[in-house]
């Protein structure tokens, strides 16, 4: 499980902490120096993205285990470690977090006009939390980074959000997430206490826990399963833990909703793969039917709710619930196609949902409404934007040639291999997703005219066109040439299945 850092420098620490250093520099800037503040935010997030790309390109897809290891004991008497590393699963999400942060910084250069310094500082601190969550290999460090995302996200919703209910939405998000985190903290403390009796002493080191977990009793593993399940189910979210999401997504600013949907939701699904399943292997196999059933109910239920929405942003929010439920389903069928499909779904959903939410922001900036009945004919008024938004919408419903299609095929194959009848509601979800996305696209872009006064302007090249078109093109790349992504995850997924002892057999009810 141990690897070497070929860079010769603590590259993961540099990438993870650089945004917070940028936030510290912003704190020292005069409040009115908006041009300087925006420039620092762009440079900090842009350099961080370049370094993340560098690490991803340097990642050895043919090697197993973790790479770019950084390990230092920071509390010797307690054996708590500063332990970072990336494998084939986390490296893609690490890059995704850097990419989407840079995208929202670019987009926010124009729309954000109040408390500019505080806004970009919050985004950069949030980036540190997201990156650290994907890189942490010590459970205590994972918890620190996981919780670090809570306050900046709540601030983005409550301070820079839209509408009179934004503070309510921020508080609701905060309470839900904090409640789940407290349960996880109790589970972490219990794990730490149990390892006191191990020959190596107390530990929260991922590698040590992998060695110890199979020997834990059935009752203890069930406690671990539930201790981690609630927080990750809330974060993803899956039904019935999703009720905070529609309010938070609708009331959040574009930066907040893109990072919520594109990255923070992935932290929940990633937590299932990285921590819940490995720390409770027997219980995960025995109780897999619970997340499987909840996921199937969730994808169909959320797709139906999306079908009846009258607000474009809320429609995409419910489609996000369905999409992430689809990813959780792929994880818990416990075979190669299912888990790889879940990871591809996470990356694809990051591209497409972010592009769609940025598109919602562009529409709102010009028309000051996202009510579908008040929009119409935008394909004539904003031709280039309409074309890109429609492509992203088609990608979201699983059009062949775009990234979601690859994920849907893999997850469906994975589900069908384990339990063929479970593929039926999956097909039903795919049909519903086509219905609500095509209905929305038709009403917004190709029927009627907007009933609100507006003068549509061309897309701003750097602030709007680059993130919107860039994310859509990345979805196209993944849809056409998925091999590099699948090769990156293959060995890590095989290692997880081998550890679980399922041999690719998959979920059995």
Token code pair at residue 312: 């474009």
pLDDT at position 63: 85
pLDDT at position 2: 40
Q: Report the share of the chain in percent with pLDDT over 70.
A: 96
pLDDT tens-place string over residues 248-307: 998 999 999 999 999 999 999 999 999 999 999 999 999 999 999 999 999 999 999 999
pLDDT tens-place string over residues 301-329: 999 999 999 999 999 999 999 999 999 99
Element (H, E) at 49: helix 34-58
Ramachandran assignment for 395, one of left (phi > 0), alpha (psi -120 to 50 degrees), beta (any other): alpha
pLDDT at position 453: 66
54: Cβ–Cβ under 8 A, 6 or more apart, which residues?
none
- Does residue 185 lie within any of the structural domains? no
Q: Are 102 and 120 in contact (CB under 8 A)?
A: no
- Does residue 347 lie within any of the structural domains? yes
Please check the confidence at residue 509 and state whether its pLDDT lies above 60. Answer: no
pLDDT tens-place string over residues 117-140: 999 999 999 999 999 999 999 999
Chain mean position to CA 341: 15
Q: What is the DSSP letter of 276?
A: I
Q: Identify which has the larger pLDDT, 412 or 457.
A: 412
- Does residue 330 lie within any of the structural domains? yes
What is the count of structural domains for the chain? 1
pLDDT tens-place string over residues 165-212: 899 999 999 999 999 999 999 999 999 998 887 777 788 999 999 999
Q: Report the share of the chain in percent with pLDDT over 90.
A: 71
Q: Which of 2-6, 8-12, 77-81 has the lowest mean pLDDT?
A: 2-6
The per-residue b/e assignment along 71-100, b for 16 or more CB within 10 angstroms, e otherwise, is eeeeeeeebbbbbbbbbbbbbbbbbbbbbb
Q: Are 157 and 248 in contact (CB under 8 A)?
A: yes
Ramachandran assignment for 465, one of left (phi > 0), alpha (psi -120 to 50 degrees), beta (any other): alpha
- Does residue 311 lie within any of the structural domains? yes
pLDDT at position 452: 65
Domain with 364, as residue range(s), is 288-498
Please check the confidence at residue 508 and state whether its pLDDT lies above 50. Answer: no
Residue pointed to by tokens 């990072």: 259
CA 130 vs CA 98, 143, 489: distances in Å: 9, 11, 20
- Does residue 473 lie within any of the structural domains? yes
In sequence order, what DSSP letters do the residues of 342-378 get, joined into one string? HHHHHHHHHHHHHHHHHHHHHHHHHHS--BGGG---H
Please check the confidence at residue 5 and state whether its pLDDT lies above 80. Answer: no
pLDDT at position 45: 96
- Does residue 146 lie within any of the structural domains? no
pLDDT tens-place string over residues 344-391: 999 999 999 999 999 999 999 888 889 998 888 888 888 889 999 999
pLDDT at position 9: 86
320: Cβ–Cβ under 8 A, 6 or more apart, which residues?
245, 249, 261, 265, 349, 353
**Rounded Cα gap, residues 452 and 383, in angstroms:** 18
Please check the confidence at residue 1 and state whether its pLDDT lies above 60. Answer: no
pLDDT tens-place string over residues 416-474: 887 888 888 888 888 889 999 999 999 999 887 766 666 677 788 888 899 999 999 99
pLDDT tens-place string over residues 32-85: 899 999 999 999 999 999 999 999 999 999 888 899 999 988 877 788 889 999
- Does residue 71 lie within any of the structural domains? no
- Does residue 92 lie within any of the structural domains? no
């Amino acid at each position: 499980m141990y690897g070497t850092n070929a860079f010769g420098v603590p590259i993961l620490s540099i990438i993870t902490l650089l945004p917070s250093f940028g936030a510290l520099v912003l704190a020292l800037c005069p409040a009115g120096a908006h041009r300087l503040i925006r420039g620092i935010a762009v440079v900090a997030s842009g350099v961080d993205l370049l370094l993340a790309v560098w690490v991803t390109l340097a990642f050895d897809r043919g090697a197993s285990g973790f790479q770019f290891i950084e390990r230092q004991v920071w509390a010797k008497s307690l054996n708590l470690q500063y332990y970072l590393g990336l494998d084939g699963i986390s490296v893609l999400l690490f890059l995704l977090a850097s990419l989407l942060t840079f995208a929202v910084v670019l987009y926010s250069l124009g729309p954000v006009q109040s408390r500019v310094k505080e806004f970009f500082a919050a985004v950069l601190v949030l980036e540190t939390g997201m990156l650290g969550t994907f890189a942490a290999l010590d459970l205590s460090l994972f918890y620190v980074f996981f919780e670090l995302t809570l306050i900046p996200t709540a601030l983005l919703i409550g301070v820079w959000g839209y509408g009179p209910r934004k503070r309510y939405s921020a508080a609701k998000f905060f309470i839900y997430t904090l409640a789940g985190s407290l349960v996880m903290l109790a589970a972490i403390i219990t794990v730490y206490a149990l390892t006191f009796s191990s020959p190596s002493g107390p530990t929260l080191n991922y590698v040590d826990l992998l060695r110890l977990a199979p020997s834990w009793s059935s009752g203890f593993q069930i406690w671990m399963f539930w201790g981690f399940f609630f927080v990750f189910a809330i974060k993803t979210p899956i039904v019935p833990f999703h009720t905070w999401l529609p309010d938070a997504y609708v009331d959040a600013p574009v930066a907040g909703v893109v990072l919520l949907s594109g990255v923070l939701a992935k932290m929940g699904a990633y937590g299932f793969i990285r921590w819940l399943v490995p720390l409770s292997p027997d219980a995960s196999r025995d109780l897999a039917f619970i997340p499987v059933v909840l996921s199937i109910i969730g994808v169909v239920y959320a797709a139906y709710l999306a079908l009846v929405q009258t607000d474009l942003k809320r429609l995409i929010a419910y489609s996000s619930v369905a999409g992430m439920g689809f990813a959780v389903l792929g994880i818990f069928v416990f075979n190669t196609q299912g888990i790889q499909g879940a990871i591809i779904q996470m990356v694809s959903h990051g591209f497409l949902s972010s592009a769609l939410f940025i598109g919602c922001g562009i529409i709102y900036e010009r028309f000051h409404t996202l009510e579908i009945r008040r929009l119409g004919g935008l394909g004539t008024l904003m031709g280039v934007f309409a074309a890109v938004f429609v492509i992203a919408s088609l990608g979201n419903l699983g059009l062949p040639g775009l990234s979601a299609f690859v994920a849907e095929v893999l997850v469906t194959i994975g589900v069908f291999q384990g339990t063929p009848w479970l593929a039926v509601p999956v097909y039903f979800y795919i049909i519903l997703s086509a219905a609500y996305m095509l209905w929305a696209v038709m009403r917004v872009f190709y029927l009627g005219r907007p009933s609100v006064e507006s003068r549509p302007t061309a897309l701003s090249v750097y602030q709007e066109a680059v993130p919107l078109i860039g994310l859509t093109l990345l979805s196209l790349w993944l849809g056409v040439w998925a091999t590099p992504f699948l090769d990156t995850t293959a060995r890590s997924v095989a290692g997880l299945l081998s550890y679980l002892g399922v041999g690719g057999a998959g979920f059995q009810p």
